Amino acid sequence: MDITLDKADAELQRRAREFTEQYLFPLELECEMNDGLSPQATKTVKAAVIEHGFDAINHAQEDGGRALSLFQQILIQEEMGKATGALWDLVWRPSLPMRQASEALKDRYLRPACRGERRDAYAITEEGAGSDTSMIETTATRDGDGWVIHGEKWHVTAGDIADFFLVHALVDGDPAQATVFFVDKDLPGVTKVRTPKYMHTFVYEHPIFAFDDVRVPLDNVLAEVGRGDDLTRDWFVEERLMIAARTVGAAARALDLALDFASGRRAFGRAIVDYQGIEFMLADTAAEIMAAKSLLYRIGQQVAVELDRKQMHAEAAAAKLQCSEMAGRAVDRAVQVFGGRGYMREQPVERLWRELRVDRIWEGTSEIQRVIIGNELKKRGSGVYTGWPD
Ligand SMILES: Cc1cc2nc3c(=O)[nH]c(=O)nc-3n(C[C@H](O)[C@H](O)[C@H](O)COP(=O)(O)OP(=O)(O)OC[C@H]3O[C@@H](n4cnc5c(N)ncnc54)[C@H](O)[C@@H]3O)c2cc1C
């Protein structure tokens, strides 16, 4: 498989790099110091997102998206992942499973979300249910002409700015009837319980929300009753590939910063880059980025043309595991190269060090990615990983 970029993809990558450097990097310190951005800064970026064509890149044109392939999305996310403060999340990508919504629901939720007028937040995790979604306790009960949703959701990313949720709930409490519901945030019974503080600075928050007997219309079901696990898995597959892309980009930025610093910083009569102790850290990072990026691009190109769900699930797990673990090592070395400066919040390497930690946790921990890979090995052998079927 040829993983060199064609002209159009190389141009897309260049535009994403330019956008990141021109619009996201200058806002990093404001975001870090103020724990978020001003409405004016957000508005400026939003206009630039549309102008550059990076809005809803993961959705069909008929829904107002840019219909880019998964590989092209990876190229863009790799560049934007270099920015700290999770500023990449200003560039909206409405949750993938919404493409399975009815026309009426697309009109109400997906299409305005693609235009940047509405914002979704995907609410799966609960206090007692994270990796094991069969332990979810949020219920949906049919009542006359609607559903009544009851439960509490944790870590709802962008829940502070979202105006609707995709809530993963069990119809009548039955794990075999897992279903995703559209729930407007302003409905009676939806309340923000609290907004915890996290290790990273994220341009948005991850509040806890309670759904206290919230009534939604009968047709607010995404796709069909009982399809919840499949839909949520589709979301995970896409998000895991995007995490892999962002972490590769972040590691590359950390390497560039560390190389630059090590070339200028002098100790004991020479630039520290000339000490093997430093040089080897940079060399390990460079080689590991090369390996992870090759894997990411290969999987990205493969999933862009093949749509076998099980294989995508298995490969996305390998990409997320390899890239996020690699990036964790890369940013840790970068902090070490920077010495005391590497511990200062004004330095991007410090922020990347904190921010990349969650990439080994969310959208399935590293252990869960290994469980997925292990299951694939047990069911179908090692071919997906070692044989690289063409
Ligand atoms: C900043 C942030 C944002 C998030 N955003 C969202 C969001 O928008 N929507 C949402 O629904 N969720 C979100 N999450 C939740 C996230 O997906 C979960 O935290 C994650 O899936 C892990 O679940 P948990 O925290 O309950 O940990 P647990 O499942 O309790 O796991 C605890 C530990 O046990 C390990 N473990 C569990 N099962 C196994 C096993 N079978 N084998 C080996 N080890 C195992 C885990 O790997 C982990 O180390 C977010 C989390 C964070 C931190």
Domain borders along the chain are 7-114, 120-217, 228-387
pLDDT attached to residue 322: 98
Atom number in ligand 1 closest to CA 129: 26
Question: Mind listing the pLDDT tens digit of every residue in the chain (390 residues)?
Answer: 667 899 999 999 999 999 999 999 999 999 999 999 999 999 999 999 999 999 999 999 999 999 999 999 999 999 999 999 999 999 999 999 999 999 999 999 999 999 999 999 999 999 999 999 999 999 999 999 999 999 999 999 999 999 999 999 999 999 999 999 999 999 999 999 999 999 999 999 999 999 999 999 999 999 999 999 999 998 899 999 999 999 999 999 999 999 999 999 999 999 999 999 999 999 999 999 999 999 999 999 887 776 677 888 899 999 999 999 999 999 999 999 999 999 999 999 999 999 999 999 999 999 999 999 999 999 989 888 887 655
Atom number in ligand 1 closest to CA 200: 1
b/e string for 175-203 if b means 16 or more Cβ within 10 A? eebbbbbbbebeeeebeeeeeeeeebbbb
Phi and psi of 127, rounded to 5°?
-55, -40
User: Hey, which of 361, 363, 371 would you mutate to test ligand 1's pocket, going by the most ligand atoms within 8 Å of its Cβ?
Assistant: 361
Q: Calculate how far, in angstroms, residue 320's C-alpha sits from the geometric centre of ligand 1.
A: 14
Q: Calculate how far, in angstroms, residue 88's C-alpha sits from the geometric centre of ligand 1.
A: 22
pLDDT attached to residue 4: 84
Atom number in ligand 1 closest to CA 125: 11
Q: Is the full-model pTM beyond 0.95?
A: yes
* CA dihedral sign of residues 264, 267, 269, 273: negative
Indicate the CATH number for domain 120-217. 2.40.110.10
The domain covering 228-387 belongs, at the CATH homologous superfamily level, to Butyryl-CoA Dehydrogenase, subunit A, domain 3 (1.20.140.10)
Domain 7-114 has CATH 3.10.129.10: no
The two structure tokens encoding residue 292: 């992870």
| DSSP-assigned beta bridge partners for residue 123 | 167
Q: What is the rounded CA–CA span in Å between residue 74 and residue 241? A: 7
Q: Which residues line ligand 1 (CB under 6 A)?
A: 122-125, 130-131, 155-157, 198, 206, 358, 361-365, 367-368, 371
User: Hey, which of 155, 209, 246 would you mutate to test ligand 1's pocket, going by the most ligand atoms within 8 Å of its Cβ?
Assistant: 155
Q: Calculate how far, in angstroms, residue 362's C-alpha sits from the geometric centre of ligand 1.
A: 6
Q: Calculate how far, in angstroms, residue 181's C-alpha sits from the geometric centre of ligand 1.
A: 21
- Secondary structure of the chain as H, E, C letters: CCCCCCHHHHHHHHHHHHHHHHHHHHHHHHHHHHCCCCHHHHHHHHHHHHHHCCCCCCCCHHHCCCCCCHHHHHHHHHHHCCCCCCHHHHCCCCCHHHHHCCHHHHHHHHHHHHCCCCCEEEECCECCECCCHHHCCCEEEEECCEEEEEEEECCCCCCCCCCEEEEEEEECCCHHHEEEEEEECCCCCEEEEECCCCCCCCCCCCCEEEEEEEEEECCCECCCCCCHHHHHHHHHHHHHHHHHHHHHHHHHHHHHHHHHHHHHCEECCEEHHHCHHHHHHHHHHHHHHHHHHHHHHHHHHHHHHCCCHHHHHHHHHHHHHHHHHHHHHHHHHHHHHHHHHHHCCCCHHHHHHHHHHHHHCCCCCHHHHHHHHHHHHHHHCCHHHHHCCC
Q: Calculate how far, in angstroms, residue 228's C-alpha sits from the geometric centre of ligand 1.
A: 18
Q: Calculate how far, in angstroms, residue 153's C-alpha sits from the geometric centre of ligand 1.
A: 13
User: Hey, which of 134, 365, 369 would you mutate to test ligand 1's pocket, going by the most ligand atoms within 8 Å of its Cβ?
Assistant: 365
